[in-house]
Structure 1
Amino acid sequence: MDREVNAMGYGICIFSADTVQDFLKREKIRKRKLLSLLQKDKELYLSTQKEGILIALVGINAYNYAIRLEGRDEPFDDRWVQKIDYDGFNLEIKDGLWISNIRQLEPFEPKIYHEKEEEFYTTPGQFEPVERYRSPWERWYKAETGKGELVKIYTDIKYDVPAGKYLLSIKGYVRKEKQKYPVPNCGFYLSLTKVEAFEGFKNPREADEYNFNIGSME
């Protein structure tokens, strides 16, 4: 069964929590609405790309996306068709690799990425309390579909990856035969190549070069 992340907010963010936290401390940034800050401050955003702080896949449809990591998960098979293949994004890992809904940057709360025990809890919802779960490896909440079915919406998943500097490659796939929600019909296959140091950088927000919205590709 695929691990997955929901892209409500129209984006997915790939990062190591301690890397982001250390960057904010070094830059003396107290504002926790990190997504808004990086959208407004271009130079700060470019610094995050040069130093491998985080990679944001923005402007993608708000779907559930299957997530697979080379060496940990099986590659996508012939039931899927590849749509994109991008490589060379800087990423520094200090405490494992998180793949999260981009809304988790609004605000970014470092402590929630360092949970040591699993926990079920509820929060107020629009109509009734929402059941939630968090652990050292994932976070999700339950939501009701239009047919009244309860499904898990995954906001964050983590892979235990050794610390170091890496170049991240991203391949995007879509199913040849679509399945019913909430089964993911799109997915990203991530690969990491360890390096001694970063030489230059690539900016995934360069619209002319990169398009991660695989769900809308023919």
Structure 2
Amino acid sequence: MEKVLTATSYGISLFSHKIFQDFLKTEKVRTKKVLKNFQENHERYLSSLKDGVWVPFVPIDTLKYSIKVENKGEFFDDDWVKKFDHKDFNIHIDGSIWITGLGLLLEYDKTKFIDDVISSETLDGIPLSFGFRYDLESGKYLVKITGYSLKEKLDYPNANYGFLFSFVKVDHFEGFNDPREDEKYNFNVADMD
């Protein structure tokens, strides 16, 4: 099944739900406005990256994106062209990883993360998916994010852009990379055609 994510709030985030919740509990973060909390507490944000709690990447256009995980045998075919590779972002996984639109962290609701997908529909009946869960072996990983663009663009509501996530298991983290370093990383694949 093709997984198409509707990216909200101009970004995508990766996190293992249990690791994310444990971090919030340890940091005594009680607000549902988790994204705002990270924005206002830079040291907390950096600590979360160092510990592999999550990987947020912004800015990207608010569009639909095809999502694939190499560890699950998923790849983009010859109809797509690779636009970038950004790698070595820390991510700590406890049995599964969520790939979500960043908007889910504007008003974080842990009860939404029960099934394998977070979705709804437009009034016109167009399906919208805001997050997908993938089962992966527990451990520490470095994730590579590769952006793709469809060679022949399709009409809405099709996804003309996509991201491939590749997870490489490591024994421990050595330093960290901040995906929000704009001078170093550009994830906006829709702006690369």
TM-score, normalized by the shorter chain, greater than 0.5 = yes
Partners of 1:111 and 1:95 in 2: CA distance: 18
Q: Distance in 2 between matches of 1:38 and 1:95?
A: 24
* Residue 182 of structure 1, CA deviation: 1.2
Q: CA deviation at 1:107?
A: 1.9
Partner of 1:24 in structure 2?
Answer: 24
Confirm whether residue 157 of structure 1 aligns to residue 132 of structure 2: yes
In the alignment, what sits opposite 1:130? none
Q: 2:121 aligns with which of 134, 137, 142?
A: 142
Q: Which runs of 5+ in 2 are unaligned?
A: none
Which letter maps to 1:168? V
Is 1:13 the equivalent of 2:16? Answer: no
SS of equivalent to 1:190: strand
**Distance between the aligned counterparts of 1:95 and 1:38, measured in 2?**
24
Give distance in 1, aligned partners of 2:110 and 2:126. 26
Q: Which amino acid aligns with 1:84?
A: F
Distance 1:195 1:188 in 2: 22
Q: Distance in 2 between matches of 1:194 and 1:103?
A: 28
For 2:134 and 2:40, how far apart are their aligned partners in 1? 30
State the 1:111 CA deviation: 2.9
Residue 74 of structure 1, CA deviation = 2.8
Give the conservation status (yes or no) of the 8 Å contact 1:170–1:190. yes
Structure ID, larger Rg: 1
The one-letter code sitting in structure 2 at the alignment partner of 1:196 is D
Q: CA deviation at 1:32?
A: 1.9
How many angstroms apart in 1 are the aligned matches of 2:49 and 2:129?
26
Query: For residues 203 and 28 of structure 1, what CA distance do their matches in structure 2 show?
Result: 23
- 1:181-200 aligned at under 5 Å gives the runs 181-200=156-175
- How many residues are matched? 193
CA contact (8 A) 2:79 2:150 kept: yes
C-alpha RMSD of the superposition: 1.1
Tell me what 2:190 maps to. 215
- Once the two structures are superposed, the pairs formed by residues 27-176 of structure 1 within 5 Å of their partners are 27-113=27-113, 115=114, 136-144=115-123, 149-176=124-151
Runs of 4+ in 1 over 3 A off after TM superposition: none
Give the TM-score normalised by the residue count of structure 2: 0.96
State the alpha-carbon separation in 2 of the partners of residues 74 and 96 from structure 1.
16
CA contact under 8 A between 1:141 and 1:153: conserved in structure 2?
yes
Mapped partners of 1:101, 1:197: distance in 2:
27
Q: Distance in 2 between matches of 1:40 and 1:26?
A: 17
1:109 Cα offset (Å) = 2.1
- Using the alignment, how far apart are the partners of 2:71 and 2:58 within structure 1? 25
Partner Cα distance (1:156, 1:48) in 2 = 20
Structure 1 residues 94-132: Cα deviation after superposition (integer angstroms, max 9, x where no partner): 14110111111122222321x2xxxxxxxxxxxxxxxxx
3-state DSSP of counterpart to 2:46? helix
